[in-house]
Protein backbone atom coordinates (compact mmCIF):
# COMPACT_ATOMS: atom_id res chain seq x y z
CA UNK A 1 0.00 0.00 0.00
CA UNK A 2 1.32 3.38 -1.02
CA UNK A 3 0.01 6.86 -0.09
CA UNK A 4 -0.91 9.33 -2.86
CA UNK A 5 2.11 11.43 -1.94
CA UNK A 6 4.44 8.41 -2.19
CA UNK A 7 2.73 7.28 -5.39
CA UNK A 8 3.37 10.72 -6.83
CA UNK A 9 7.02 10.86 -5.84
CA UNK A 10 7.95 7.21 -5.93
CA UNK A 11 9.25 5.40 -2.89
CA UNK A 12 10.84 2.21 -1.68
CA UNK A 13 8.77 -0.18 0.41
CA UNK A 14 9.26 -3.57 2.01
CA UNK A 15 7.04 -6.37 0.67
CA UNK A 16 6.55 -9.83 2.16
CA UNK A 17 5.96 -12.52 -0.45
CA UNK A 18 3.78 -15.62 0.15
CA UNK A 19 6.91 -17.81 0.12
CA UNK A 20 8.19 -15.93 3.21
CA UNK A 21 10.78 -13.80 1.47
CA UNK A 22 10.84 -10.06 2.10
CA UNK A 23 12.00 -7.64 -0.59
CA UNK A 24 12.69 -3.93 -0.89
CA UNK A 25 10.63 -2.80 -3.89
CA UNK A 26 11.08 0.49 -5.73
CA UNK A 27 7.72 2.10 -6.48
CA UNK A 28 8.08 4.42 -9.51
CA UNK A 29 6.63 7.95 -9.44
CA UNK A 30 3.08 8.21 -10.74
CA UNK A 31 2.06 4.62 -10.05
CA UNK A 32 -1.68 4.07 -10.31
CA UNK A 33 -3.95 2.19 -7.93
CA UNK A 34 -4.26 -1.44 -9.08
CA UNK A 35 -1.14 -1.31 -11.23
CA UNK A 36 0.93 -4.52 -11.16
CA UNK A 37 4.71 -4.56 -10.71
CA UNK A 38 6.64 -7.56 -12.01
CA UNK A 39 9.71 -8.62 -10.06
CA UNK A 40 11.61 -10.91 -12.41
CA UNK A 41 13.04 -14.02 -10.82
CA UNK A 42 11.66 -13.20 -7.35
CA UNK A 43 8.74 -15.65 -7.41
CA UNK A 44 8.54 -19.35 -6.63
CA UNK A 45 11.30 -21.75 -7.73
CA UNK A 46 11.02 -23.05 -11.27
CA UNK A 47 9.77 -26.55 -12.05
CA UNK A 48 12.39 -29.28 -12.63
CA UNK A 49 15.32 -26.95 -12.05
CA UNK A 50 14.00 -24.13 -14.26
CA UNK A 51 14.56 -20.49 -13.40
CA UNK A 52 12.64 -18.87 -10.56
CA UNK A 53 9.30 -17.38 -11.55
CA UNK A 54 8.28 -13.76 -11.38
CA UNK A 55 6.53 -12.17 -8.40
CA UNK A 56 3.58 -10.00 -9.35
CA UNK A 57 2.69 -7.27 -6.86
CA UNK A 58 -0.56 -5.30 -7.13
CA UNK A 59 -0.13 -1.75 -5.82
CA UNK A 60 -2.82 -0.13 -3.66
CA UNK A 61 -2.55 3.66 -3.56
CA UNK A 62 -4.05 4.96 -0.32
CA UNK A 63 -5.60 8.42 -0.10
CA UNK A 64 -3.51 11.18 1.44
CA UNK A 65 -4.88 13.67 3.99
CA UNK A 66 -3.39 16.64 2.10
CA UNK A 67 -3.48 15.80 -1.61
CA UNK A 68 -5.93 14.30 -4.04
CA UNK A 69 -4.68 12.98 -7.34
CA UNK A 70 -6.01 13.84 -10.78
CA UNK A 71 -3.84 11.90 -13.25
CA UNK A 72 -0.36 13.41 -12.89
CA UNK A 73 -1.73 16.53 -11.19
CA UNK A 74 -2.27 16.93 -7.45
CA UNK A 75 -4.87 19.11 -5.73
CA UNK A 76 -4.97 20.54 -2.22
CA UNK A 77 -7.09 23.03 -0.30
CA UNK A 78 -5.22 25.64 1.70
CA UNK A 79 -6.60 28.13 4.24
CA UNK A 80 -5.69 31.79 3.71
CA UNK A 81 -6.43 34.68 6.08
CA UNK A 82 -8.79 37.47 5.03
CA UNK A 83 -6.02 40.11 4.85
CA UNK A 84 -3.99 38.05 2.36
CA UNK A 85 -7.14 37.20 0.36
CA UNK A 86 -8.13 40.88 0.03
CA UNK A 87 -4.72 42.56 -0.29
CA UNK A 88 -2.75 39.68 -1.84
CA UNK A 89 0.62 38.51 -0.66
CA UNK A 90 2.84 35.49 -0.13
CA UNK A 91 1.81 32.24 1.55
CA UNK A 92 3.78 29.08 2.22
CA UNK A 93 2.40 26.01 0.42
CA UNK A 94 3.31 22.45 1.42
CA UNK A 95 4.15 20.35 -1.65
CA UNK A 96 5.21 16.69 -1.86
CA UNK A 97 8.81 17.82 -2.38
CA UNK A 98 8.88 20.54 0.30
CA UNK A 99 7.30 23.86 1.20
CA UNK A 100 7.35 26.65 -1.41
CA UNK A 101 6.33 30.29 -1.38
CA UNK A 102 3.42 31.33 -3.59
CA UNK A 103 1.85 34.74 -4.15
CA UNK A 104 -1.90 35.11 -3.71
CA UNK A 105 -3.35 37.74 -6.05
CA UNK A 106 -5.32 40.60 -4.47
CA UNK A 107 -9.08 40.14 -4.24
CA UNK A 108 -8.88 36.33 -4.16
CA UNK A 109 -11.95 34.52 -2.91
CA UNK A 110 -12.63 31.08 -1.47
CA UNK A 111 -12.50 28.61 -4.32
CA UNK A 112 -9.80 30.50 -6.25
CA UNK A 113 -7.46 27.90 -7.78
CA UNK A 114 -3.76 28.67 -8.24
CA UNK A 115 -1.25 26.47 -10.06
CA UNK A 116 2.27 25.48 -9.07
CA UNK A 117 3.82 24.16 -12.28
CA UNK A 118 5.76 20.89 -11.94
CA UNK A 119 4.91 20.34 -8.25
CA UNK A 120 2.49 17.43 -8.84
CA UNK A 121 3.48 13.84 -9.62
CA UNK A 122 7.18 13.73 -10.41
CA UNK A 123 8.45 13.21 -13.95
CA UNK A 124 9.26 9.61 -14.81
CA UNK A 125 10.61 8.26 -18.08
CA UNK A 126 9.17 10.34 -20.91
CA UNK A 127 6.27 11.65 -18.81
CA UNK A 128 6.55 15.25 -17.62
CA UNK A 129 5.90 16.28 -14.03
CA UNK A 130 2.33 17.19 -13.12
CA UNK A 131 1.10 20.41 -11.53
CA UNK A 132 -0.14 21.14 -8.03
CA UNK A 133 -3.45 23.03 -7.97
CA UNK A 134 -4.08 24.93 -4.74
CA UNK A 135 -7.68 25.86 -3.92
CA UNK A 136 -7.84 28.82 -1.52
CA UNK A 137 -10.21 28.67 1.42
CA UNK A 138 -10.61 32.06 3.12
CA UNK A 139 -10.60 31.71 6.91
CA UNK A 140 -11.74 34.71 8.91
CA UNK A 141 -10.63 33.56 12.34
CA UNK A 142 -11.34 35.57 15.49
CA UNK A 143 -12.29 39.11 14.49
CA UNK A 144 -10.91 41.97 16.59
CA UNK A 145 -13.01 45.00 17.56
CA UNK A 146 -11.56 47.19 14.79
CA UNK A 147 -12.72 44.71 12.12
CA UNK A 148 -16.12 44.34 13.74
CA UNK A 149 -16.55 48.15 13.88
CA UNK A 150 -15.47 48.51 10.24
CA UNK A 151 -17.96 45.84 9.10
CA UNK A 152 -20.84 47.46 11.05
CA UNK A 153 -20.23 50.79 9.31
CA UNK A 154 -19.29 49.40 5.86
CA UNK A 155 -21.71 49.27 2.95
CA UNK A 156 -20.56 46.99 0.13
CA UNK A 157 -20.63 48.52 -3.35
CA UNK A 158 -22.45 46.59 -6.04
What pLDDT is recorded for position 5?
A: 52
* Residues 16-48: tens digit of each pLDDT: 887 788 888 888 887 878 888 888 888 888 888
The residues, ordered by sequence, that sit 6+ positions from 73 with a Cβ below 8 Å of its Cβ are 120, 121, 130, 131, 132, 133
- Mean pLDDT over 87-99 rounds to 93
Confidence of residue 86 (pLDDT cuts 50, 70, 90): very high
Nearest alpha-carbon partner for 77 in 108, 118, 114, 119: 114
- The model carries a pTM of 0.74
The residues, ordered by sequence, that sit 6+ positions from 126 with a Cβ below 8 Å of its Cβ are none
Mean pLDDT of the chain: 86
Confidence of residue 55 (pLDDT cuts 50, 70, 90): confident
Nearest alpha-carbon partner for 68 in 118, 7, 124, 128: 7
Amino acid sequence: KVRVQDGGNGTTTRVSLPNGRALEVKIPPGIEDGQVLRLRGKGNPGVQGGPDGDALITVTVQPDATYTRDGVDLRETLPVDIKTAVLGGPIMVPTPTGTVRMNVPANSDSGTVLRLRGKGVQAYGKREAGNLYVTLQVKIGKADTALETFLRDWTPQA
